[in-house]
Amino acid sequence: MGLMAKLKGELVDIIEWIDDSRTTLAWRFPRYNNEIKNGAQLIVREGQRAVFVYRGQLADQFMPGNYELRTENLPILSTLQGWEHGFRSPFRSEVYFINTRPITDLRWGTPAPITIRDPDFGMVQVRANGLCMVKIEEVDIFLREVIGTDSEVEANEIAELLRQVISTAFSEMVLDTGVGAIDLQGKQVELAGQLREHVQEKVDDEFGLSIPDITMRISLPEEITQAMTRGVARGVEEGGYARNVGDLDRFQQVRASDAMIAAASNPGGGAAGDAMGIGLGMAMAGQMANAFGQQTGGAGAPPPLPGAQSFHVAVNGQQLGPYGIPQLQQAVGQGQVSADTLVWANGMSGWTPAGQVPALAGLFNAPPPLPPAGGAAPPPAPAADASDTPAG
């Protein structure tokens, strides 16, 4: 190899970065043992910025364009290298290309549910997820705090960092606002803007990043969502939701009735299931009466009839009631209350089997079962009197 060819191989003529991945944030030009010569071409494409670094110090920066490297366009590097009499060729310097295009598909989500205090539902756990747009804004801060000595920085290297920052900012923001769970879903766009501002304050000076946009979707617990859906389907709020779920009392009545139906239909469910089964009729009747009173503008269910006696019932060690006699009659017919079931009412000295209470004894005096087919013949007719026999 001739001398000219050897010199040409040792010197860098063109410095550029061709990247089509859109996931690389920073890339260091691979100089190896080569040196940059006087008059070398620097090509910076749109969406890029080139930065010269000499012995760890940030030097000259170049925006998109085509440059011929000379003393005039390398003033900082000339000072750092002590070029008193113009460009010294060749010279050594690290060249970083920075991707200034925004990364638009960075996904984030809360790693664990966040517990908030809701004025209607008590303590509720919510989750959130969405997309974050991130862009390198301050190159010098990004070089110092993120790149360091790395030769290449990918978007996924800062993704985990941003996810932690966003999740922490979301938790702080939600707890500070004190907004209820249902209101959170109704203000997702507004809250996303506030979240972007929170995150921007945490990543601009620390990492040199900007957050142009954040999208957010808040998820409520599945049981609350399903209960709300069933409430709407049953006409819990005829005119659409007002604040939160509108009339919360009626919503809770629907949810309670669903729970009772599920417990009553669960065979072998234990005391709770038996209790739900017996109390289903009364609870549903009370809820329907209250709901009817609210819809008609009345004061709720009417008071008990004067003189009507009600009884408490002991089922599997639990005290239920009080229930009226018609409700106990229905429970007897369903086999949920027997003559041996202990009951108590005002005026009784203690718990007594239902069959021994005069007011309830009639509930258990059912007629005997019909005889099986082909059973005993009916009794014979009485014999005729001889005096009634006509003379022959």
Distance CA 139, CA 141 (A): 6
In 3D, which of 183, 300, 326, 195 has the Cα closest to residue 242? 183
> For the whole model, what pTM was predicted?
0.53
Domain 103-222 classified CATH 3.30.479.30?
Answer: yes
Distance CA 119, CA 123 (A): 9
Burial of 96: CB neighbours in 10 Å, binned 0-12, 13-18, 19+ = buried
Structural domain spans, the chain: 3-99, 103-222, 264-292+311-348
CB 340, CB 355: distance < 8 Å: yes
User: What was the pLDDT predicted at 228?
Assistant: 65
Distance CA 279, CA 260 (A): 8
Burial 155-173 (b: 16+ CB within 10 A, else e): beebbeebbebbbebbbeb
Question: What are the φ/ψ torsions at residue 83 (nearest 5 degrees)?
Answer: -80, 90
Rama region for 246: left / alpha / beta (φ>0; ψ in -120 to 50; rest): left
Distance CA 182, CA 275 (A): 32
Per-residue pLDDT of the chain (392 residues; tens, 9 = 90+): 444 444 444 455 789 999 877 789 999 998 765 578 778 899 999 999 999 888 888 888 999 999 988 877 787 877 777 665 555 567 778 899 999 999 888 899 988 888 888 777 778 888 899 999 999 999 989 998 888 878 889 888 888 889 999 999 998 888 888 787 778 878 888 999 999 999 999 898 889 999 999 999 988 888 777 766 665 545 444 444 444 444 444 445 445 545 544 554 454 444 444 444 444 444 443 443 343 334 334 444 344 466 678 898 988 878 888 888 888 888 888 888 899 999 999 888 889 998 899 888 888 876 666 666 655 555 555 554 444 444 43
User: What was the pLDDT predicted at 89?
Assistant: 62
In 3D, which of 219, 366, 335 has the Cα closest to residue 267? 335
User: What was the pLDDT predicted at 251?
Assistant: 47
User: What was the pLDDT predicted at 199?
Assistant: 93
